[in-house]
Amino acid sequence: MLTIQQQIETLRQTLHEHNYNYYILSQPTISDLEFDKLMQQLIDLEAQYPEFHDPNSPSVRVGSDINKSFSQVTHRYPMLSLQNTYSESEISDFYNRVQKALNEDFEIVCELKFDGTSISLIYENGQLAQAVTRGDGKQGDDVTANVRTIRNVPLVLRGENIPDYVEVRGEIMMSWNTFEKLNEERAQQEEPLFANPRNAASGTLKLQDSRVVASRKLESYMYYLLGESLPTNSHFDNMLLARTWGLNVSTSMNRCRTIEEVFEFLRYWHVERKNLPVATDGVVLKVDSLSQQRNLGFTSKFPRWAIAYKFEAEKAITRLDSVSYQVGRTGAVTPVANLEPVLLSGTTVKRASLYNEDAINALDLYIGDMVFVEKGGEIIPKITGVDKEARFLLGEKVVFARRCPDCGALLVRDEGEAVHYCPNSDGCPPQIKGRIEHFVTRKAMNITIGPENIAQLYDNNLIHDAADLYTLQFHDLINLERWARTSALNLLESIEKSKSVSYEKVLFALGIRFVGETVAQKLAQAFPNIDALAQATFEQLIEVEEIGGRIAQSVIDAFLNPKFIDFVERLRVHGVQLSLSEDILASKTDKLNGLTIVISGTFELHSRDEYKTMILQNGGKNSGSVSKNTDYILAGDNMGPAKLEKAEKLGVKVIDERAFLEMLR
């Protein structure tokens, strides 16, 4: 006679097995009715004996109505984006770059690029421990309870060679059939419709009620493993193993030994993808060998060992109803085409960017024109042409605005630039609000306030720039429409927390033109406090890696502006971090001060990116080419012969990674 605990464990194991047979193998061995009866037995026993609770029991598939907020989780391995390409010639360029960098045989794995919402599943000792969204790539939301309701996500891995810790990356999807049924139900209830399956999956995954998530029939498609002790050195072989563990790994995956095999895969799926049950928007190419991936490393944004090929965009034709203009935080004015709604690539398109005056003139647009619309990369709608034979009863010719649509200032266009700007940066409301919106974003100061509330505070003269956020009082907020005690206190707490945001993020938040997130990090390393940056000369700025003349001049211009200096000083008074932390400063040395180092080849102990960081942390400068100003070449295996020849000619010393690390020691 089995004990109660043994009965529960047996039911769980049986249901896990049936889930695997149904969702992974597509070979069910019992009917849905029999499955439901077993599930109900388990639910009843677990309710009667809560002491045997297991967070990965098959019963969690039905979800719960317990509301919870999502906590933020820092990714152990950052979730980076992929560089996109749209032509076979660019694929050839990628292949040749990899071939040149590795200087040895390699294979490429081709996989379908599923158009869902990114997820990272963490398994510890074979048990699902955590599920985290991509977020900003560095941290995401913990959506474990919701992901546990997804039927083809294994709660417990099966099989052999399972690491104690493994992170599985993939996409959470909603099939076309489920998407259409969901929108039919929402239409009947007079609820807003989802634009596409990706939005529906993303919105569902962030619901507070996991019972609703369970009812939406989401699916997972997994495509990458991460961890310190993966089974093999082959990405392809690891994914085949992952499929045996119970993970839903697509069978539409191929390991290619030549560029011709890659092209054959692309051409086949360009047509065949339309027969798939879920949305795909391209093919991902990855170097198969994990050690070769490590040697290739990363740029500031993308892995060098992978690239995404996006399928040719679908086109539609519709009528141009009007043109409006948007003003951004930098004053850039963007024309927007307002269109008669048309269905395109699974979404309803009502607006499309017209980019700039040159683009408008090239199209020769009139209001009422029938225009061809497509999605660049299947994401951003754009007008690619006009059906001039369909012209009749035309309206006015589209001519780019001469004045700012919001403040009326005469627009300017710098020589050599395609974009018009509103010069009234201190008096144009969209620019001011836009700078505040940029300041509060998660990648900047991470203050929890949305555009509508920023507009409300600005319109009520409570803030005039982002520094004024630090002067807000409880009584300022509680008297405003739609503000309750809790929301007011939450904002004030968020503002207070932002005072501890790191210096490089503050630099990004300041909104200096051309200073993005990566540039801000480079500047923070080179100039460890705001005063050093304010006093930097043009020559000092362009010595920093990735800082060109345009960025350098923009930084100088910002600190020549008295209003910008006043803005920074008010942030200083309020306690915002305007220098690197003591920990980071303590780790900085001048061991490589004044030295310019070129990195070439592939390495065993650290990646190229790690060596670049070490050089910066120790006062050195990275360079991509050998010149008379080069002090050392940090050389790995397969160093480029041209660089070696030039180094010998110029008398530049070549060192290996162990000698370099000894210099730092």
Across the strands, what pairs with 470?
none
d(CA 604, CA 591): 23
Beta bridge partners of 113: 282
Closest CA to 179 of 194, 163, 165, 159: 194
Pinpoint the alpha helices (H) of 70-156. 88-102, 144-147
Concatenated DSSP letters of 597-637: EEEESB-SSS-HHHHHHHHHHTT-EEESS--TT--EEEE-B
Look up 113 and say whether it is catalytic.
yes
**Strand partners for 210:** none
Q: Are 522 and 544 in contact (CB under 8 A)?
A: yes
Of the candidates 218, 219, 222, which has an alpha carbon nearest to the alpha carbon of residue 250?
A: 222
Instruction: Give the CB-side neighbour count of residue 157, counting CA atoms within 13 A.
Output: 26
Strands 127-133 and 117-124: antiparallel
Q: Quick count: other Cβ atoms within 10 Å of Cβ 567? A: 19
Residue 251 burial (CB count, 10 A): 7
User: In angstroms, rounded to a whole number, what is the distance separating the alpha carbons of residues 491 and 502?
Assistant: 19
Could you give the C-alpha distances from 573 to 35, 387, 513, 558, in angstroms and in order?
65, 59, 24, 19
Task: Specify the pairing of strand 332-344 against strand 315-327.
Answer: antiparallel
Q: Which helix (H) or strand (E) holds 313?
A: none
Contact 213, 186 (CB under 8 A): no
Q: Which residues is 281 bridged to in the sheet? A: none
- The type of residue at 113 is K
Catalytic residue chosen out of the listed positions 113, 433, 621, 643: 113
By annotation, the residues acting in catalysis are 113
